[in-house]
């Protein structure tokens, strides 16, 4: 497996890198909806329930993530004026309300470790994309990393460390720490999905080896050592981890699973084609492992 690794030496202790500004995320606005399904595991077998559309409106609803106890979902909405704000869907009541309402645009909301704030990729008025922090009610915006830009995607590894997809040609994976405000460049030519691996101090990310070969790798947040985990199915990159350490990945209308250390290859756990669902992208498992949320084309 090591033959596909890229030669890329981490630059330890460097200041957070400057890269050329990227086009605003609003440049392309596909129509997407967010679906919620039940998730259970019995004797090693994953069972997925019927999907329910929790947005069900024309336009862009995307980038869902669960609150710490799984009671609600934060997600991004692009409104009629072209600005993106963060909304919240409460699962028990089925109600939706707007969380942020700013002149900028906010994307990819994720509750930060500690559970009192959430982070976003904010497209600022000059189109610079950086990581910001908000209180859970959408108040008190705060810039997290002044020089870490342009940010496309990210995932928190712990309260002080975040893995960041830095837009560029090729895009790079940087590991940034709030204290002392430094970043380490660890890989290049990565995909759009970065995830925290449960019960570890590691993140998983997509490694684009070639046009036809894509792997899911992990990076140790202490050592910055990168290790390949499993080759991704063709055309797939959006993945997520369940709390018990099962890796899920989307492929078209299908959901596939793999459990490190116990299975040799991917296996299908659901196909939502009969429900009229196709083009699944973002996926996330709830903290209790009893629900799954995903994005699909309208």
DSSP string across 203-214: EEEEEE-SSS-E
Q: How far apart are CA 139 and CA 149, in angstroms?
A: 23
Side-chain-side CA neighbours of 62 within 13 Å: the count stands at 24
Nearest to 35 by CA among 277, 256, 276, 294: 294
State percent of the chain over pLDDT 90: 86
Q: What CA–CA distance (Å, rounded) separates 195 from 25?
A: 21
In degrees and rounded to multiples of 5, residue 275 shows phi and psi of: -90, 5
Could you tell me if residue 129 is left (phi over 0), alpha (psi between -120 and 50 degrees) or otherwise beta? beta
Instruction: Return the residue matching tokens 């995909």.
Output: 191
Write out pLDDT tens, residues 230-283: 999 999 999 999 999 999 999 999 999 999 987 679 999 999 999 999 999 999
CATH number of domain containing 169: 2.120.10.30
Q: pLDDT tens for residues 135-193?
A: 999 999 999 999 999 999 999 999 999 999 999 999 999 999 999 999 999 999 999 99
Give the range among 22-31, 48-57, 91-100 with minimum mean pLDDT.
22-31
What is the pLDDT at residue 263? 67
Burial environment of residue 115 by CB neighbours within 10 A (0 to 12, 13 to 18, 19 or more): exposed
- Beta-strand relationship, 32-42 and 52-53: antiparallel
Contact 100, 125 (CB under 8 A): no
| Token pair listed for 40 | 């259970």
Number of domains in the chain: 1
Distances (CA, A) of 230 to 196, 199, 258, 264, 273: 16, 19, 9, 9, 25
- Nearest one of 97, 104, 99 to 81, comparing CA atoms: 104
Q: How confident is the model at residue 5 (pLDDT cuts 50, 70, 90)?
A: very low
Domain, as residue range, for 67: 2-297
**Alpha carbon distance 36, 277 (integer Å):** 12
**Strand (E) or helix (H) holding 52:** strand 52-53
For residue 8, pLDDT beyond 90:
no
Distance CA 188, CA 7 (A): 9
């Amino acid at each position: 497996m090591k033959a596909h690794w890229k030669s890329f030496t981490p630059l330890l202790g460097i200041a957070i890198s400057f890269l050329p500004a990227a086009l605003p995320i609003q440049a392309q606005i596909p129509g997407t909806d967010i679906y919620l399904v039940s998730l259970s595991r019995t004797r090693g077998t994953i069972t997925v329930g019927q999907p329910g559309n929790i947005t069900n409106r024309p336009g862009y609803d995307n980038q869902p993530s669960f609150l710490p106890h799984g009671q609600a979902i934060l997600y991004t909405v692009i409104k009629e004026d072209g600005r993106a704000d963060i909304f919240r869907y409460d699962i028990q009541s089925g109600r939706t309300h707007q969380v942020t309402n700013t002149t900028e645009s906010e994307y990819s909301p994720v509750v930060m470790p500690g559970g009192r704030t959430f982070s976003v990729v904010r497209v600022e008025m000059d189109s610079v994309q950086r990581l910001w922090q908000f209180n859970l009610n959408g108040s008190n915006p705060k810039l997290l990393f002044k020089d870490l830009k342009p940010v496309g995607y990210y995932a928190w590894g712990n309260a002080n460390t975040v893995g960041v997809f830095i837009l560029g040609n090729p895009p790079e994976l940087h590991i940034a720490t709030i204290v002392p405000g430094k970043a380490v460049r660890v890989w290049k030519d990565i995909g759009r999905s970065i995830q925290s691996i449960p019960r570890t101090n590691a993140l998983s990310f997509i490694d684009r080896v070639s046009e036809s070969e894509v792997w899911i790798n992990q990076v140790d947040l202490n050592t910055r050592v990168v290790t390949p985990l499993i080759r991704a199915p063709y055309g797939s990159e959006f993945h997520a981890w369940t709390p018990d350490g099962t890796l899920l990945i989307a492929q078209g209308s299908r959901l596939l699973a793999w459990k490190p250390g116990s299975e040799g290859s991917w296996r299908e756990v659901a196909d939502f084609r009969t429900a009229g669902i196709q083009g699944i992208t973002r996926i996330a498992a709830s903290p209790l492992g009893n629900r799954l949320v995903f994005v699909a084309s309208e």
